[in-house]
Structures are given as C-alpha cells and as structure tokens.
Chains A and B, each alone.
Chain A
C-alpha cells in the first residue's frame, strides 16, 4: 500500500490531490429490520479478513505523510444505507461487495430470519455502512 501511494505521488502534479475512499476502519456494517420509524438491530457484520487491509491502509496513509510525500488536507466520514425487501436479498447484497466480503457473526443470519418472520408486513431490512475519505496534498 505504501508503495502504491508513493507511486501515485510520483504521478501527481505538485499541489495535486490524492483521495482515498474505503470502508470506515471502526464502524462495521449494521443490519437492522425497520418498520416505519422503528429500527430493530439484528447484527453487526464481521470484516475479519478485511481488517488487516484496513489497518494497512491507515498506517500507509500515515506513513507517506510522515515521509513528507504528502500533507494531510482532511478526513471525512459518511454513512450510507441500503434497503432490502427480504432476507434472501442479503446474499445478493454481500456478493456485490468485492472480496474479502463482510459476513454474519455466528447465529446472525438465523436471527435475521427469526426476526423477519416476526416482523409486521411492510418491514424492510436496512444495512448501514460507513466510509472514510482521506485527502492528501502533494
């Protein structure tokens, strides 16, 4: 990752901007069932395999700033939500994510189905994810 950032630095104008958008390093995807204004949390998805990559990205971004290749222009985070009409769509949703994909904790998927069966008509499944954006100036 550090090598990739250094290579990008070499291809930027002086004063150019490097933007990194990636999943938020600490806010995990949250699955809930929503009915009107009521939100029932089901599970927080695990990103075990991905966490190493996220940690590596964080430290690589810090390192190129410490080396003086870039200065930090700012950091922003944001949440975004996806709504699913039924539990079977969870599989499609997860498959859309480039591997390594998040997964349910043990028993989480069964809990989703149980809660869905008990949910009133018109309920939806909500997945809340968070991203982080770092802007570095060359």
Chain B
C-alpha cells in the first residue's frame, strides 16, 4: 500500500497547540499563508468564519476545489497577502500566520 507523504505535522497537532492559547470555536479567523487549506480545513468546522489568503493562485484553486467537494461554506479563500488587505474592515478574533514568515 502506498504511504501518503506529508512534510507537515499530523492532523490535529497545530490546532491543539493553537487552542492552548485561544479557542477557535465561534471565532472569526484570518489565516495568512493558507496554501491549499491543509490547516484551514482542520478548524473551519468550529469557526464562525474564515478568511484564508495565500499569494499562490494554484494553491488557492486547489483549496477552493476541496472546499466545494467538502461542502464547507464558511471559508473565503482568496489569492493575496496581508499587505493587500484593506487596513480597515470587519475585525477578526484570531490572525493565524500559518508557516508564513
């Protein structure tokens, strides 16, 4: 049987570490550097809303396709960077820099 290779932590590790400091339940989350949504999909089901951004268009397309397949409606995946977001707007409860420096 082929082993699925991942260069990232097993599912749940990052969320457990995050939740030592803040619960993501019913929160409005801004995720910066979401990539293909690997981490986003791990917590979106408990969040109220997620704005997930990444400069890589292909990754965002992949994330959006997965979102459609999973039938998740509270994530807004967008191509972009934090610098590109308007300075003002609806405030978030949590800003998550996910493996982005």
> How far is it, in angstroms, between the C-alpha of A97 and the C-alpha of B60 when the chains are bound?
16
Q: Counting CB contacts under 8 A, is A37 at the interface?
A: no
Size band of the A side of the interface?
35 or more
> How far is it, in angstroms, between the C-alpha of A53 and the C-alpha of B99 when the chains are bound?
11
Interfacial residues, chain A to chain B (CB-CB below 8 A) = 1, 3-4, 7-8, 10-13, 16-23, 53-54, 56-57, 73-74, 76, 78, 80, 82-85, 89, 92-94, 96-98, 129, 131, 133, 135
**Are A19 and B101 in touch, CB under 8 angstroms?**
no
Chain A nearest CB, measured from B54 CB (Å):
10
**Are B94 and A16 in touch, CB under 8 angstroms?**
yes
Q: For A19, give its contact among B5, B10, B88, B95 (CB under 8 Å).
A: B95
> How far is it, in angstroms, between the C-alpha of A93 and the C-alpha of B97 when the chains are bound?
22
**Are A17 and B22 in touch, CB under 8 angstroms?**
yes
Given A85-B3, A93-B7, A96-B6: A76 touches B101 (CB 8 Å cut-off): no
Tell me the count of chain B residues lying within 8 A, CB to CB, of chain A. Answer: 35
Q: For B101, give its contact among A1, A7, A84, A93 (CB under 8 Å).
A: A1
Which residues of B are found within 8 Å of A133, using beta-carbon distances?
14, 17-18
Chain B nearest CB, measured from A15 CB (Å):
9
> How far is it, in angstroms, between the C-alpha of A73 and the C-alpha of B22 when the chains are bound?
10
Chain B nearest CB, measured from A136 CB (Å):
9
Chain B nearest CB, measured from A7 CB (Å):
5
Which residues of A are found within 8 Å of B8, using beta-carbon distances?
80, 96
Chain B nearest CB, measured from A60 CB (Å):
8
Which residues of A are found within 8 Å of B9, using beta-carbon distances?
78, 80, 131
